[in-house]
Amino acid sequence: MSNNIILQVEDLHTAFFTRKAVIRAVDGVSFFVREGETLGIVGESGCGKTVTGLSLMRLLPEPSGRIIGGKIIFDGRNLVELDKQQMRAYRGKMISMILQDPMTSLNPVYTIGDQISESVKLHQGLPDDMVEKEVISALRLLKIPAPEQRLNDYPFQLSGGMRQRVVGAIAMSCHPRLLIADEPTTALDATIQAQYIALFKDIQQKTNVGIIFITHDFGVVANMCQRVAVMYAGKIVETAPTSVIFKAPRHPYTAALINSVPRLDRSKDDRLDSIEGQPPSMANLPPGCRFAPRCTVVQDICRKQEPPEVKVGDEHSVSCWRVN
């Protein structure tokens, strides 16, 4: 991993405009990703993780979804300012995304070879004989057995784990510098999940690609990520190196998420911790800290004022009144 920052997100705001309300799904998010580094974005369903990834790719559903503020600096250019045609030159070639469900990403009526070659033809402009070699190379990178035979297979002929690898092959076919993986292991069983994580590490070692790994599972974060950003109700509440956040989480929400992960060193009689209550409605957010209604150590100021971000260590920052 180098110190070369390839992506810098500054105060990103993404909203969905409906007839009844404006949903601020991403509300002032900032983070960075280095070359060859994996940043984990962790949080409950509905916290804005996936919308953050789609915002980086400029793939928000139009016309309701819009980036309304902030910057996405990739290789010195602000992607927010690019028009659709300029963005296509980045999407798939420089930045790729693996979506959560491979069956919604793959077209059932096209072969695997056709779907991977589409991206290669669009961004690399290679002749047909070279395109097939690139497609086979991408399948080999994802360790798909007998790649020459898989070219003519359809998605329904593959297992769920293999389909997820094919989606990964599409994402990596043009050798991007940044890969956004949106909960790619959620639909996989534990054994295949471990293999897939090992595969990501191997790919990163070979290509030095920067990875944003979106997940709700701190167990995956421990195995995959160098740094982690914890997201709640559209905001990042804590960012830290992974080793630090497991040893000394400073935000109550981070601590609660970590304590809810099963551990081998617990006795069979120990109950898993749970977080009481539900995340707030993004159309009707509470005043002050958004986690306050569920927090076990809430103070009066938490319900009145939103906490500022405070740096508490090397690359460790937290938004909580308890550390002010």
**Entry field: residues in the chain:** 324
- Three-state secondary structure readout of the chain: CCCCEEEEEEEEEEEEECCCCEEEEEEEEEEEEECCCEEEEECCCCCCHHHHHHHHHCCCCCCCEEEEEEEEEECCEEHHHCCHHHHHHHECCCEEEECCCHHHHCCCCCCHHHHHHHHHHHHHCCCHHHHHHHHHHHHHHCCCCCHHHHCCCCHHHCCHHHHHHHHHHHHHCCCCCEEEEECCCCCCCHHHHHHHHHHHHHHHHHHCCEEEEEECCHHHHHHHCCEEEEEECCEEEEEEEHHHHHHCCCCHHHHHHHHCCCCCCCCCCCCCCCCCCCCCCCCCCCCCCCCHHHCCCCCHHHHCCCCCEEEEECCEEEECHHHC
- pTM, to two decimals: 0.92
At 95, the pLDDT band (50, 70, 90 cuts) reads very high
State pLDDT tens for residues 12-28. 999 999 998 999 999 99
At 124, the pLDDT band (50, 70, 90 cuts) reads confident
Which residue segments constitute the domains of the chain, with CATH numbers given?
5-94+208-262+272-323 (3.40.50.300)
pLDDT (average), residues 118-140: 85
Give me the pLDDT at residue 264, please: 67
pLDDT (average), residues 82-101: 90
At 269, the pLDDT band (50, 70, 90 cuts) reads low
State pLDDT tens for residues 238-248. 999 999 999 99
pLDDT (average), residues 130-144: 89
Looking at 32-46, 58-72, 269-283, which range is the least confident one? 269-283
pLDDT (average), residues 37-45: 94
Q: What is the overall mean pLDDT for the chain?
A: 90
**Which of the two residues, 254 and 162, has the higher pLDDT score?**
254
Q: Is the pLDDT assigned to residue 84 strictly greater than 80? A: yes
Give me the pLDDT at residue 193, please: 82
Using DSSP bridges, classify how beta strands 210-215 and 178-182 pair: parallel, antiparallel or unpaired.
parallel
What is the rounded distance in angstroms from the CA atom of residue 141 to the CA atom of residue 134? 10
Q: Is the pLDDT assigned to residue 268 strictly greater than 80? A: no
State pLDDT tens for residues 143-178. 889 999 999 999 999 988 888 889 989 898 888 999
